[in-house]
Chains A and B, each alone.
Chain A
């Protein structure tokens, strides 16, 4: 099983700041595929990025994803108040699919 470790646990930033969320896979494999989801309180998760860097439909272009080996990241170029949420990374290349434990983004 690929374990995903997200960091930091919580990110507290101001509107307009750049946010970088990290996710490290326990081992690197060319078969891995990665996605990022946003979840706001009381809501279902929403897909933001898939295949490491492809934006999902309706994802604002301030969100971008990248990958280098086992390290995957989500960058929010300029935080908006509505970006306050928990963000989860997800690998879906090798069963069992797995999720990271989440990074909470707080807006000061």
Chain B
């Protein structure tokens, strides 16, 4: 069974930083690109970032470029999202998600974690 479990969310002051983690099991992590998607409370989904299976290629939404860094540790089946210079508009549930197909950067997202809430407020 595929499972993804995010952690690291919490209440942070504006300008602060957070590092989110996503622990995965049930599939060969090193064969899949991975995504982060966020959802502000009561609002829609916003794609944030994708990292290829090796970690060598990363892409970001324009709204977060320069403040977010995605990385992975294939030896420990872990995905990370470093968020710096946090703003109120970064308040959201952050999901990690796995694409349908191995080896390819692009793909629909067939498995999602339960999400971790990041709240940016003073």
Assess A90 versus B62: contact at CB under 8 Å? Given A44-B95, A44-B115, A50-B100.
Answer: no
Interface size class of B (residues with CB under 8 A): 20 to 34
A-B contact count (CB 8 A): 66
- The verdict on B106 contacting chain A, using a C-beta distance below 8 Å, is yes
Interface centre among B35, B45, B99, B114 (most CB of A within 10 A): B45
Q: Which of B44, B47, B95, B100 is within 8 Å of A97, CB to CB?
A: B47
The reply to whether A90 and B46 contact each other, CB–CB distance below 8 Å, is no
Give the nearest-CB partner of A52 in chain B. Answer: B108
The reply to whether B44 and A99 contact each other, CB–CB distance below 8 Å, is yes
The reply to whether B59 and A95 contact each other, CB–CB distance below 8 Å, is yes
Complex alpha-carbon distance, A92 and B35, angstroms: 11
Q: How far is the CB of A38 from chain B (nearest CB, A)?
A: 12
The reply to whether A33 and B106 contact each other, CB–CB distance below 8 Å, is yes
Assess A45 versus B110: contact at CB under 8 Å? Given A50-B100, A95-B50, A96-B62.
Answer: no
Known: A44-B95, A44-B115. 12 other contacts (CB 8 A): A44-B112, A45-B37, A45-B45, A51-B108, A56-B108, A90-B45, A90-B47, A92-B99, A96-B61, A98-B47, A100-B44, A101-B44
Binding site for A on B (CB under 8 A): 35, 37, 44-47, 50, 59-62, 95, 99-100, 106-110, 112-115
